[in-house]
Amino acid sequence: MTRTEPQNPDLLCINTLRTLAIDQVQKANSGHPGTPMGAAPTAYCLWQRFLRFDPDDANWPDRDRFVLSVGHASALLYGLLHLCGVKQLKQHQQEQETTTDLAVTMADLQTFRQAGSHCTGHPEYGWTSGVETTTGPLGQGVATSVGMAIAQAWLAATYNRPGFNLFEHRVFALAGDGDMMEGLSAEAASLAGHLKLSRLCWIYDCNHISIEGSTALTFTEDISARFSAYGWQVLQVADANDIALTTHCLQIFLQTQDRPTLIIVQSHIGWGAPHKQDSAAAHGEPLGMQETRSAKQFYGFDPQVNFAIPEGVREHFSTHFGQRGFSEHKAWRICFAAYRVQYPDLAAQIDCMQRRELPEQWDAGLPRFDTDAKGLATRDASSQVLNAIAARMPWLLGGAADLSPSTKTHLNFDFAGVFEPPAHLSNAGRNFHFGVREHAMCAIASGMALSGLRTFAASFFVFTDYCRGAIRLAAMMGLPVIYIWTHDSIAMGEDGPTHQPIEQLASFRAMPGMLLLRPADANEVIEAWRIVMQLRDGPASLVLSRQALPTLDRSRYAAARGVARGAYVLADGTAATGELPDVLLLASGSEVALCIAAYEQLAHEGVKARVISMPSWELFERQDEAYREQVIPAAVSARVSVEAAAALGWDRYVGRYGKIIAMRSFGLSAPGDVAQKQFGFEVGHVLAAAREQLRQHKQRANPS
């Protein structure tokens, strides 16, 4: 017995969550105790009385989702996962296998924020089972939850059948003042309201404190009016400790079928800490020994005991949260088994999707692109390929941030449809209109991917700056989201420097886990899509041109399947003799054609050049040394790289003496071909650079 006073079971559980959070932070000497203390009753009420979640299988497809958008309050989530007995899943090939190990053990709680613990500083998807999405950057969790709610609506509309409600889960997110302040939450809430996502509930833990002090310093708008204007139902709980009222509000949410719900819960950060409650001091640092003891006393706990779990607490969670989850999941399994008999094809699709597999014949309808000097823009080639694949893969879906006519990402086959409000009705459209909301679009795409859908999101490449927070988390989580970025260089032209990407290529190449592909012609686009579709554990960026690019003669130059190796020898004047070339011309995307033109001219002059198409640095770096040496022989020091983007990184491939033709400033408002010429992206300039390289190489060889 660690309890000092009798308490009702609800309060005992709530206070256990509070003290576990305090002790995690205190032992780690790092973290955020205050919000777990204030929000514990709210989270408890939701989990214990409502959440449909089987602790033995955190991957049950129809589980309710709980997103801790206040990721810094992770100690609260870890307490819940521990007390609820949620089990860790093990990744085995593409299956998530259940285990009997706890996702969060007592040892994990006691090593909060230390290497190897499942209690990481902020919740990390894929590491701790029961964490539905990685959170920490404020606003991401709530925005991602909108994607999860969209996925639920889409899955229900696509796969539910009379008598078979396979997908009827709800999505909850616990948010704080910071989430509400971030612009991202406004974008996401606006779209959720428009779509009338009635199975979405955000609970706003309103404690009026953020890091610099009272929110009165910066945040005085009427949140209720704001969300009402978005089309949300807004409910209020005046005191977080009043779980009867929270229960009532959650019941109202469950009955609401025409709009999302925001429950604003007034709470006290650090509730129960005599000197730190309601102050920023409770936000991001341990309470301290004395304050900890006082708070425990206030809760009726023994001040001397750390990580106490009073008798009856686990049992209480197991009787309510656990039993509900077991029985709901069991009923679902029975339902799905019967569904499988009646609708075997649909059930097979659900299985396939959950395992992130591709359907058979997914690539059977791919187009062919014949040699064509005029060619076509890689965005147009991509449109054809995307449509061919999507027509055979029902759960490949997505859209653009109000730019689909430009990104060419509209699915135009007869049965594609549009995902429109109200989302809870039978609406399985696959074209998503995200509106001019790039950041939310990417967070939503992640939320959809977390529910098994294969999503794509599209915009102009330059606007990835607006999406970066969400893309970074997708890469961290290993989500196979497909990003389609068009208008990929200064060649996009007249819109000028604000719309012309420069540093974006380098920045995505710097992002761990991101696979970037910048194909050079329509046939490279096909190969790029093949690679992207087979990804299971990370996002990809397809970087595409607005302008037409010649479709290369593949009988004259190498086959486009070389894309799979990231870089390949496209044209080589020494191929027949096996000699080393005199000069290497390296490029990606639209600049490859320039190099081919230079190569032909050099061949005419008797110079043996080699063109290396480099659509993906990441894939090339994964090749063995022998292949990389074969493509870029160390002995050839005369090299020119050509890419209409920042130079950063090209020195790796051009070596010590090579020439980098790149952008060293922002672009220019002018027609694309004029802008390209102005910055040296023309054959004459590439030729001059190659000749100069040859001259310097000779001089190095014979320094007279």
Ligand X SMILES: Cc1ncc(C[n+]2csc(CCOP(=O)(O)OP(=O)(O)O)c2C)c(N)n1
CB of 46 to ligand X, least distance (A): 17
Selected catalytic residue, list 438, 527, 591, 618: 438
User: For the window 255-274, what string marks contact with ligand X as x by the rule CB under 6 A?
Assistant: --------------x-----
How many other CB atoms are found less than 10 A from the CB of residue 9?
A: 16
User: For the window 71-90, what string marks contact with ligand X as x by the rule CB under 6 A?
Assistant: -xx-----------------
Does residue 168 have an active-site annotation?
A: no
In the bound state with ligand X, the residue whose beta carbon lies nearer, of 39 and 515, is: 39
Could you give the 3-state DSSP secondary structure of residue 337? helix
Select the span of 15-23, 68-76, 225-233, 551-559 touching ligand X (CB under 6 A).
Answer: 68-76
CB of 58 to ligand X, least distance (A): 25
- For residue 113, state whether it binds ligand X (rule: CB under 6 A): no
In the bound state with ligand X, the residue whose beta carbon lies nearer, of 283 and 685, is: 283
Are the CB atoms for 585 and 631 separated by under 8 Å?
no
- For residue 178, state whether it binds ligand X (rule: CB under 6 A): yes
Write out 112-167 in H/E/C secondary structure.
CCCCCCCCCCCCCCCCCCCCCCCCCCCCHHHHHHHHHHHHHHHHHHHHCECCECCC
Select the span of 80-88, 131-139, 307-315, 450-458 touching ligand X (CB under 6 A).
Answer: 131-139
Near ligand X in 659-698, by CB under 6 A: none
User: Helix 468-477 and helix 140-159: axis angle, to 10°?
Assistant: 70
**Cα(624)–Cα(448) distance, integer angstroms:** 35
What does residue 577 show for φ and ψ, rounded to 5 degrees?
-95, -20
In sequence order, what DSSP letters do the residues of 63-76 get, joined into one string?
PPEEEESSGGGHHH
- Chain centre distance of CA 447: 8
**Cα(409)–Cα(400) distance, integer angstroms:** 7
CB of 420 to ligand X, least distance (A): 31
CB of 82 to ligand X, least distance (A): 21
Token match 């514990």: residue? 40
Name which position in 3, 18, 27, 32 contacts ligand X (CB under 6 A). Answer: 32
**Cα(75)–Cα(23) distance, integer angstroms:** 9
- For residue 187, state whether it binds ligand X (rule: CB under 6 A): no
**Cα(486)–Cα(401) distance, integer angstroms:** 12
Are the CB atoms for 451 and 133 separated by under 8 Å?
no
Near ligand X in 136-165, by CB under 6 A: 136-138
User: For the window 221-260, what string marks contact with ligand X as x by the rule CB under 6 A?
Assistant: ----------------------------------------
Select the span of 56-64, 175-183, 224-232, 499-507 touching ligand X (CB under 6 A).
Answer: 175-183
Name which position in 55, 147, 176, 260 contacts ligand X (CB under 6 A). Answer: 176
**Cα(233)–Cα(227) distance, integer angstroms:** 8
**Cα(260)–Cα(204) distance, integer angstroms:** 13
- For residue 615, state whether it binds ligand X (rule: CB under 6 A): no
**Cα(304)–Cα(296) distance, integer angstroms:** 9
CB of 110 to ligand X, least distance (A): 22
CB of 469 to ligand X, least distance (A): 7
- For residue 278, state whether it binds ligand X (rule: CB under 6 A): no
**Cα(45)–Cα(61) distance, integer angstroms:** 23
- For residue 211, state whether it binds ligand X (rule: CB under 6 A): yes
Select the span of 66-74, 147-155, 229-237, 493-501 touching ligand X (CB under 6 A).
Answer: 66-74
Residue of 268, 315, 294 lying closest to 22 (CA atoms): 294
Is omega for the bond preceding 422 within 30 degrees of 0, making it cis?
yes
CB-nearest residue to ligand X: 176
- For residue 210, state whether it binds ligand X (rule: CB under 6 A): yes
Q: Which residues bind ligand X (CB under 6 A)?
A: 32, 34-35, 70, 72-73, 136-138, 176-179, 207, 209-211, 269, 283
Which residues belong to the active site?
438
